[in-house]
Amino acid sequence: MKVALVTGVSSGIGRATAVRLAQDGYRTFGTVREAVAPHENIELVRVDVRDRDSVEEAVASVFETAGRIDVLVNSAGVAMVSAAEETTPEEARDLFDTNFFGVMRMTQAVLPAMRAQRSGRIINISSVLGFLPAPFMSVYAATKHAVEGYSESLDHEVRNFGVRVIVVEPGFTRTNLSRHNGNGHPVSEYNMDRERAAASIEEHIKHGADPAAVADVVARAATARTPALHYQVGANARLLRVLRSIAPAGLVDRGVRKTFGVAS
């Protein structure tokens, strides 16, 4: 039986992905920070991805119980809405600690065994903001761009061991994604645009895709004989990827400003 480990299964994309992989026949482990209602098909392990000891202990316990990990899905993540100028380096570092270093810690914990078994898939939940900008989400976008650069580079290093690294790029998805205010240095001149951007993000998430759509894509990436490096979720995200590569920059620029409510 194949074994999957998914981070951040208390809600949202992580939860939907763990449920889907369990339905597909994986023995599925899911990480949580706090106790949550158990799910009969998901074995829960405690992990705070910011804490290396908790990551290493949890991964070791999964190996001990199941003997292997075939698929790691890094979904745990947080967002932040603030003007770049307002965000302190400490706030930015906190966000990177979860969204980027969390991915790195989990990856480093599973790689020795995946290399030894000469197979494995590491699937990182990035975002369309892994290849697009977003006003008032600069640090979040930076964490996701970092995940993309890391994942693609790592994939070249581990492919000869039978391990593949894949990024999944959802657009807005209907989840609890927490959006801290990162306004350690508030600058009132940004108030109007920041509030408009925050309201627009709220609205887009509320009407976003079902997290099950992301789970479908992860399930496909986990089993594809020759996986792609990137999978977008939904027609919109796929179109954005294409536009970002080939459309005139002005078109994407106008679309981003409109989406985030900062078009003048």
Ligand X SMILES: NC(=O)c1ccc[n+]([C@@H]2O[C@H](COP(=O)([O-])OP(=O)(O)OC[C@H]3O[C@@H](n4cnc5c(N)ncnc54)[C@H](OP(=O)(O)O)[C@@H]3O)[C@@H](O)[C@H]2O)c1
Catalytic residues: 10, 126, 140, 144
> Distance (Å, rounded) from C-alpha 132 to C-alpha 148?
12
Nearer to ligand X, 49 or 111 (CB): 49
> Distance (Å, rounded) from C-alpha 19 to C-alpha 174?
16
Nearer to ligand X, 67 or 205 (CB): 205
> Distance (Å, rounded) from C-alpha 256 to C-alpha 249?
11
Q: CB under 6 A: which stretch of 21-29, 107-115, 176-184, 241-249 binds ligand X?
A: 176-184
- Work out how close the CB of 153 gets to ligand X at its nearest, in angstroms, rounded to a whole number: 19
Binding-site member from 177, 197, 213, 240 for ligand X (CB under 6 A):
177
Binding-site member from 3, 14, 29, 166 for ligand X (CB under 6 A):
14
> Distance (Å, rounded) from C-alpha 4 to C-alpha 41?
12
For residue 242, give every residue at least 6 positions away whose Cβ sits within 8 Å of its Cβ, in sequence order, or none. Answer: none
Return the sign of the alpha-carbon dihedral for residues 177, 251, 150, 85: negative
- Report 180-199 residues binding ligand X (CB under 6 A): none
> Distance (Å, rounded) from C-alpha 22 to C-alpha 81?
34
Are 128 and 170 in contact by the 8 Å Cβ rule? The answer is yes
Are 35 and 42 in contact by the 8 Å Cβ rule? The answer is no
Instruction: Label residues 135-146 b or e (16+ Cβ within 10 Å = b).
Output: bbbbbbbbbbbb
Nearer to ligand X, 31 or 183 (CB): 31
Nearer to ligand X, 65 or 176 (CB): 176
Q: What would the x/- binding string for ligand X be over residues 113 to 152, using CB under 6 A?
A: ------------x-x-------------------------
Q: What would the x/- binding string for ligand X be over residues 25 to 54, using CB under 6 A?
A: ------x-xx------------xxxx----
Any contact of residue 100 with ligand X (CB under 6 A)?
no
Contact residues for ligand X (CB under 6 A)? 7-8, 10-14, 31, 33-34, 47-50, 75-78, 98, 102, 125, 127, 170, 172-173, 175-178, 205, 208, 211
